[in-house]
Amino acid sequence: MSAAEEVVAEGHEAVEAVPKRAMTLGTGTSVVVLLLLLAVPLFAKNFIIFQLTQLLYLGLAVLALNILTGGSGQFSLGQSAFYAIGAYVTAVLMEQFNVNYALCLPIAGVVCFGAGFLFGQPALRLSGVYLALATFALATAMPQLLKLNFLEHWTGGVQGLVVTKPDAPFGLPMSQDMWLYYFTLVVTLAIYLFSVNLLRSRSGRAFMAIRDNEIAASAMGVNVALYKTLAFGVSAGITGVAGGLSAIAVQFVAPDSFTITLAIQLFLGMVVGGVGWLPGSIVGAAFIIFVPNLAEGISKGLSGAVFGVLLFLVIYLVPHGARQVAIIGQQLAGKLRKN
């Protein structure tokens, strides 16, 4: 192609710039949400507690994607692959090597961080649609890789692995589900705080500089290659912990639970929650857990169509996701205070 045909793209950013202060919740709101999360299981049935646990670990996975996309501006359809690695590392360590479940999670996180960091290397050359295709390839390959024969000794092949649910320690008078919920809550909170601080730190500012303008960021001395791969690594690590938690909560891992559908769900969760708004991750997770059930309840035969229509409604009303709702709420509260 001759130089005359080169196209110049101006300031066309795929991910909008979210200032770092707008990425978190105020103190008051945080305390209320935390109290709710602590209190609700005390009054709920076991199945609901299980669903809340699910909400937390999927929220964690959405948060991880949010750091990658909303933070550093890279798009990924391959999150399900890291989720699968995390789940399998946890399951294999727990069942084949009798490692304590609480120890498995950090190991899963570190393994996935490594995997993400390595995958980030070739991905450096790609952006936008090309990066989406590369990560997509990873997501489609993962279930097949887990089924490979020479891994079957550990992974159980197509059948997968059954994981034992841990009991509450120290003789605490709690059901297994409730203990697991609080355990997940603690892990989630720790990672949430870590992520908020990460985005406020020097590294977080580097991520955002890259997201907003890669060339300008590198001109200011940001090591673009390092921070892009780092964002991939951190995101994969958190996704891995989420995957590990899911393995413990569901008590089962199998290759076909980690297909591209999961990656698409996580993506939808991020959009619904608001790209770049970390607390929105939990809202997004709620959307991907409960709305398909709701759609099934409205019409069995047309559940996919109902889901699609509901999704359209959400993106029409709030194109910026739950973040937009939060901003509107804040403005309303501000007005009330003035009056």
Q: Which residues bind another protein (CB under 8 A)?
A: 1, 5-11, 14-16, 69, 75, 122, 125-126, 129-130, 132-134, 136-137, 140-141, 144-145, 147, 213-216, 219, 264, 267-268, 270-272, 275, 301-309, 311-312, 315-316, 319-321
d(CA 5, CA 183): 58
Q: Which is nearer to another protein, 38 or 141 (CB)?
A: 141
- What is the Rg, in whole angstroms, of the alpha carbon atoms belonging to the chain? 21
By C-beta, is 71 or 244 nearer to another protein? 71
Integer Cα distance of 311 and 300 in angstroms: 17
Q: Three-state SS for 162?
A: strand
In the complex, the smallest distance separating the C-beta of residue 275 from another protein, rounded to whole angstroms, is 6
Closer CB to another protein, residue 180 or residue 210? 210
Q: How far is the CB of 67 from another protein (least distance, A)?
A: 15
Minimal distance, residue 66 CB to another protein, in Å: 11
DSSP lists the bridge partners of residue 253 as: 161
**How far apart are alpha carbons 85 and 111 in whole angstroms?**
8
* Least distance (Å) between residue 169 CB and another protein: 41
Assigned token pair, 71: 């933070």
Minimum CB–partner distance for residue 98 and another protein (Å): 32
Burial class (CB in 10 A: 0-12, 13-18, 19+), 118: middle
> Closest separation between CB of residue 175 and another protein, Å?
36
Q: Which residues of 317-335 are buried (b: 16+ CB within 10 A; e: fewer)?
A: ebebbbbeebeeeeeeeee
Pick between residue 228 and residue 320 the one whose CB is nearest to another protein: 320
Q: By C-beta, is 41 or 78 nearer to another protein?
A: 78
Residues 6+ apart with CB under 8 A from 318: 324, 325
Q: Which has the closest alpha carbon to 30: 278, 201, 332?
A: 278
Residue 11 C-beta: closest distance to another protein, Å: 8
Say if residues 62 and 246 touch (Cβ distance below 8 Å).
Answer: no
Instruction: Give the nearer residue to another protein in terms of CB position, either 249 or 272.
Output: 272
Between 52 and 115, CB nearer to another protein: 115
